[in-house]
Amino acid sequence: MANTMSIVGDAPGPRLPQGTRVDVRNRFVGSWARGFEVDEPVEGGYRIRRMSDGSVLPTVIGDEEIRPERRKQGLWWH
């Protein structure tokens, strides 16, 4: 019998390198939070660092829960 279990973050595509600024999806409300960067790509996703205080989040974040940082264009506060 074949193993059909999927590992979070095994989606095809290029891995984000260390230091890439990313947005992280809030697991409770589904919105995107800014101010993070890739600390380390690991099996099953990424270790993510919060830029405000340098803390590494305690869990591995899957590929579907992060995206490259999106900056809004043309607004004075961005």
Tens of pLDDT, residue by residue over 69-78, are: 987 666 665 5
- 37 is written with which tokens? 């960067």
Tens of pLDDT, residue by residue over 33-61, are: 999 999 999 999 999 999 999 999 999 99
Place of tokens 């890439």: 20
* Edge-to-edge strands, sheet with 66-68: 45-50, 32-42, 21-25, 66-68
* Topology, domain 21-68: SH3 type barrels. (2.30.30)
User: In the predicted model, what is the mean pLDDT of the chain?
Assistant: 83
Q: Which residues, in sequence order, are bridge partners of residue 33?
A: 24
Domain boundaries, the chain: 21-68
Distances (CA, A) of 1 to 5, 6, 8, 58: 12, 15, 21, 34
Q: Bigger pLDDT: 5 or 24? A: 24
